[in-house]
Chains A and B, each alone.
Chain A
Amino acid sequence: MAYVIEQLINGLAVGSVYALIAVGYSMVYSILYLINFAHGDVITFGAFTALTMLVIGVPIPVALFLACVLGAALGMTVERIAYRPVRYANRIVPMISALGAGLVIASTAQAIWGPEVHAFPQVIPRWSFELFGQLIPFQPLIIIAIAVVLVTIATILLDYTRLGRATKCVCQDIHAAQLMGIPINTIVPLVYAIGGFLGVAGAVLYVTYFNAVYIQMGLLATFKAWSAAMLGGVGNFHGAFVGGLLLGIAEAFSVVVVGSAFKDGVSLVFIVLILLLKPDGLFGERTTARS
């Protein structure tokens, strides 16, 4: 039983990380029906920036906050350069321009920090405490807590503020929103900014928990987070979060049930099964016949 709880904590911790990154994808998708291919590279860049700031001695909270703000700014820049000029073009066009933007960001990061795997300073200490005779690690619990707090703040922002309501309007129908006088060129970048901010927060937790920052993590995170977003119902903010948690738990328990050789495979089979039963994801709405 204690072992099952420990694996549940493992799954929830890694799931929280996937979830924070997945939220960024899902929000962008809900507006433009496009995967933001640059998202993974934006968050990698943010994580490396956090690393550099920590190494030169910037206090931990300041460094992490600045890295998240940089993520937000990079997200907005990607929107401005790679999406807005082609927003109404064929859907292939912004996809390619976002891929290009992602490559530029990834190559820049590689030129600055090199291709090696770097150790990341432990911003959350790796302590553990004993509970009912079982040693419980402290760090994953904090990671789960941070993820929940961040998503709660984002939820309040989206549900209870004017800004949030405007965002929801844009998500529902970008053209109608524009006709109603909603400044979409403020709202759309804002969505990218929230995605970038939460994404870098997720990335920093990812590199703290895995203890490694490396260039390819963007691709890996993209793959995992996109799966999570699909699972939760792409385009749905809370769905993406729950999808992330479920994916993490599925990974941890595939080690328990089937064995670690099949960790990635089993969790993906799990996603495919859910999508077979609910093609729009767990919380997805039918999104057909919208343009």
Chain B
Amino acid sequence: MTGLFKASMPRRTRTVALAAGCILAATMAYAQDDSGPIYFAVASPLTGGSAAYGINAQRGGDLAVEAINAAGGIGGREVVLEYFDDMGTPRESAAVANRIVRDDKFCAVIGHVNSSSTLAAMPIYNEAGISVLNGSSSNPSITEQGWNNIIRMTIRGDRGAQQYSAFAINNLGHDELAIFYVNSDFGRALRDDMVKAVDALGAKVVAEETFTPNVDRDFSAQISSLRRGNPDVIMLNTDYNEGGLFLGQAQDRDFAGIDVVGPDSNLYDQFIELSQGAAEGAYLLAAFDPFADRDAVKTFMSDFEAAYDSLPSQVAIFTHDLLWLAKRAMEDEGATCDTLIDTAKSMNFSGAGGDYAWDEKGDVSGRTFAVIQVVDGQFVSTGKGVDETGLEALR
């Protein structure tokens, strides 16, 4: 039993453990043993309506762990992931968080995916003091609660909305925007933040229309109304089905010459297919650039394709990058599980999804969306970023 103890273990811990008895000692040794495997809890929706995200988290995580362990793990220790299904619901996420916290063995949590899940679970992680490495939760309030044990990879929602507007106004030089948005929490929040940013940048919204997701497929009335505003650019705050259908239906409505800018929820081949050619030239702003001319992303994309025969979403690449971040922080910067977040905030990390740095709150800083364009019926990287001039006032 004592063989499990290592010389580096603090004397006080050892004394307490021995006093508490063999069983307890064994558990504690398990938790704090620094030669055995190092455990991460990956919390994501593996079932339910957003299960596709969870599957991407799992795939990105598995790929990263395979490569990390092949490269000697973290500081010579094997990395083991345990997956927890939060079902994409706040209630289940809180339950999962309690299970993770109660099981003493985890070095850090990677998750959750849905913002509502992260918001529900964070108070529990914060109280337990466990480090949370978040990939894709974009709700602005997550980093506004004073929690100092979280960083996230994705660009938060309000800053995302600012960047879409800044791209249309600063990069493309337009000043009359039309907004077509999905009538959901996500779509309305995006629309509200976009309107504020457009205002701050001195441009104006000349028309806006919405639609009910998964019900409306006929956008002709909205198209006529948007066209009437005579915009320079359409902000397509939709997913790929509706975005593609909208452009397809608009092609006989005098939309030639109007630019299209959309979020990466449109970054699926079906977007191009459903638009029947009308997506040509559209700009999509993505949280990472899957088509970038960089070795790290090319390797990731080809490994992912080889392993799963599908394209990774941002959830996959962020989960992957978070594990590599943990390895770099602990091996190169001397972080422990407890200081992971503070160390990360002081780092500049380069992963498959690009370069990351974090501010005091745990938001990525100095990182903009990657600009992807549809050219000859294919998504291609433009290699450009977003010109953020004028957004300082909003931050």
Where the two chains meet, the residues of A that have a C-beta atom closer than 8 Å to any C-beta of B are 3, 6-7, 10-11, 13-14, 116-117, 119, 122, 126-128, 135, 137-140, 209-212, 216-217, 220, 251-252, 255-256, 259-261, 263-264
Given A211-B276, A251-B221, A255-B209, residue A264 in contact with residue B216 (CB < 8 A): yes
A10 to B225, CA, bound (A): 11
A-contact 0/1 string along B171-186, CB 8 Å cutoff: 0000000000001000
Given A116-B270, A119-B274, A255-B225, residue A137 in contact with residue B211 (CB < 8 A): no
Q: List 19 A-B contacts (CB under 8 A).
A: A3-B224, A13-B220, A127-B252, A135-B253, A135-B254, A137-B253, A138-B252, A211-B274, A212-B241, A251-B221, A255-B209, A256-B221, A259-B209, A260-B209, A260-B221, A260-B225, A261-B210, A261-B212, A264-B212
Which residue on chain B has the smallest CB distance to residue A260?
B209
User: Which listed residue (B216, B228, B241, B253) contacts A117, Cβ 8 A?
Assistant: B241
A128 to B252, CA, bound (A): 6
A134 to B253, CA, bound (A): 10
Residues of B close to A256: CB separation below 8 A: 221, 225
A263 touching B252 by the CB < 8 A rule? no
Which residue on chain A has the smallest CB distance to residue B274?
A119
A217 to B215, CA, bound (A): 9
A252 to B221, CA, bound (A): 5
Residues of A close to B215: CB separation below 8 A: 220, 264
A261 touching B183 by the CB < 8 A rule? yes
B252 touching A137 by the CB < 8 A rule? yes
Q: Assess whether B218 is interfacial by the CB under 8 Å rule.
A: yes
B window 287-341: CB within 8 A of A? none
Please choose the segment from B1-9, B143-151, B243-251 that sits at the chain A interface, where 4 or more of its residues have CB less than 8 A away.
B243-251
User: Which listed residue (A119, A128, A216) contacts B276, Cβ 8 A?
Assistant: A119
A263 touching B217 by the CB < 8 A rule? no
Given A14-B220, A211-B274, A263-B212, residue A126 in contact with residue B225 (CB < 8 A): no
| Chain A min CB distance to B288 (Å) | 25
Residues of A close to B216: CB separation below 8 A: 263-264
B252 touching A126 by the CB < 8 A rule? yes
| Chain A min CB distance to B220 (Å) | 4
Q: Assess whether B273 is interfacial by the CB under 8 Å rule.
A: yes
A-contact 0/1 string along B94-132, CB 8 Å cutoff: 000000000000000000000000000000000000000
